[in-house]
A and B are shown apart, each in its own frame.
Chain A
Amino acid sequence: MRQRHRRAAVDSDLLLKDAANRLPDPARRLFLRNTVSLGALALLTGCDVTDGASAEKVLRKISEFNDWVQARLFNPNQLAPTYPDSAVTRPFRFNAYYEESEAPDVDEDRYRLIVDGRVANKAAWTLDQLSALPQETQITRLVCVEGWSAIGKWTGVPLRAFLERIGADLTSKYVHFVCAEGYSSSIDMPTALHPQTQMTLKFDGQTLPTKFGFPLRIRIPTKLGFKNPKHVIALTVLNNYTGGYWEDQGYNWFSGL
C-alpha cells in the first residue's frame, strides 16, 4: 500500500482548538472508546475488541483497504446526477468545523492561488485571472459525511482544464489543497480529472459568499462535502499521500460517492 507522510500542521494551535470544538472529549487521543455498551460483543468474542489503540490500528487498515476498493469502483466517466434550478436548496446550509462568524475573510486584492508541485508553470493566480478562464455551471447534490445532503448551484473552472493549463503532470497520484485558515484535503488524480470537479468561484449565480468559501472552493460532486475545501489558497500536484484535516482524524480518505 502507499506510504503515508504526515504533513507538519499549518497552524497547530488553531487546528487543536478546532478539533477540540468538534470532538466530544478534548482530552482524548483515541476516538474509539466505548467498551461499556459493547459488553455483549466482548462476551461473544472472548476479547475486548474495542480496546483502544489496537482496534484503531486495524480499523485504519480496513479504511485504507476501503480507499483501494473505492478507487476501483470510481468510474471517471460516471457523472453525478444533475438537477433543475428549482431543486436547489435555498437557503443552502452552512457547515464547517468553525462557526459561521469565524469563516476566514480573504482579501480579494491580495489573494493569490499558489500552484506547486509537479506542474510546469508555477506562477500564482489572481482572482481576475481565474475569473477570466472558461466557466461551467453545475447543479448537483452535496452529501455531508454527517448524512444530510443539499442541492446547490456552483459555477467555476473545471479543475481538469486548469491542471492542463498549468502543465500539471496528470500521471501524478494526488492533488493537495490548502485553505486560508489552515484546513487541508487531498484527492486522487482520477477524481481531480473528473468532468464535474470544479474550481468554484460562484454559488447560486453570485460571487461565492464567505460562508461558502470565498474566493475559491473545490467542488467535487463525486466526494463527500468535507473533501470540497473552501477558501483554497494553494494547490499542489504530487505523488505522496498527504492526508488532510479530517482524514488525519479518522474520516476515510477517498470518501467517494
Chain B
Amino acid sequence: MTATQTPAVPPPIQPLYVRITHAINAVAVIVMIGSGWQIYNASPLFGFAFPPSLTLGGWLAGGLLWHFAAMWLFVANGLVYLALGLATARFRRKLLPIRPAEVVADVYAAISGRLSHADLSHYNAPQKLLYLGVLITGMIIVVSGLAIWKPVQFHALAALLGGYEGARLVHFFAMTTIVLFLAIHVVMALLVPRSLRAIILGR
C-alpha cells in the first residue's frame, strides 16, 4: 500500500465471501465428522470405535440422516468457495507458489519462535501447504464419499479408488487428514487471536 493512494477503508484481510463460506463450512464439517463417526462405529474398519459422546445422530439411522443432509451443505458451500476463489484469483495469490525450502525455513522459524504473524494477509509457506492440502483433501473426501454412496451408478469412480472397500479406506483417511488439519488449524488460530477476529469480522 502506498501512502499516496491509501483508500479510505482498506480491503478486509478476509473478504466477505471467505468469512461466510468459512462459517458455513465449519458447521458442515463438524456435522459431517460427528455423523461420519456414528456411521463408522456401526462397522469399524479398524480395531477401535469413536466415543459415542463425540458422535452425532444417536444411532446409525440418525447418523446417516445427518450425514446425507449435511453433505449438500458441505458440497454446495465448497463449490461456491472454490468458484469465487478461482474467479478472484485468490487461491493463486494466497496459496502459490509453495517452495519446499521456504516450508522448511518457516517451520524452523516457527519452532524457534521467530515466525512473524504481523501481516495476516500473507500466508507463510507451511500455512499455504496446509490450506492447499486441506482443499485437495476436501475434494478427495467428496469423490470417495460419492463412490461409497453410489458404487454401482459410479462404478468407474469406485474402481479408480480400489472398489467399494478401497473407497471406504480413502474416505476414512481423508477424514483423518481433515481432523489433523483441524487440530493444527484451531491451535494456530488460538495462538494468533487476531486471525480469529479476521475470519469473523474481516480485519
Listed in ascending order, the chain A residues whose CB lies under 8 Å from chain B are: 22-24, 28, 30-34, 36-38, 40-41, 44-45, 50, 58-60, 62-63, 66, 73-75, 78-81, 141, 143-149, 221-222, 246, 249-252, 256-257
Contact = CB atoms under 8 A, between A and B. Distances in A.
Contacts of A33: 58
Contact of B62 (A22, A31, A75, A256): A31
Contact of A250 (B62, B159, B163): B62
Nearest to B39: A147
Interface of B: 23, 26-27, 30-31, 34, 39-40, 42-43, 45, 53-62, 64-66, 68-69, 72, 150-153, 155, 159, 163-165, 168
A168 B157 CA distance: 36
- Kindly list the 6 A-B residue pairs having the minimum CB-CB distance in the complex, ordered from nearest: A250-B61, A147-B43, A146-B42, A146-B43, A59-B65, A62-B69
A139 B132 CA distance: 42
A146 B60 contact: yes
Contacts of A34: 34, 55-58, 62
Contacts of A250: 61-62, 64-65
Majority secondary structure, A binding face: loop
A185 B159 CA distance: 30
A252 B68 contact: yes
A37 B56 contact: yes
B152 A221 contact: yes
Contacts of B68: 62-63, 66, 252
A40 B30 contact: yes
A80 B43 contact: no
A62 B72 contact: yes
Contacts of A141: 151, 164
A147 B11 CA distance: 48
A78 B153 contact: yes
Contact of B55 (A23, A37, A66, A249): A37
B59 A44 contact: no
B58 A81 contact: no
A41 B70 CA distance: 13
A58 B65 CA distance: 10
Contacts of B64: 145, 250-252
A145 B57 CA distance: 15
Nearest to B155: A81
B54 A37 contact: yes
Given A31-B59, A44-B27, A149-B165, A38 B150 contact: no
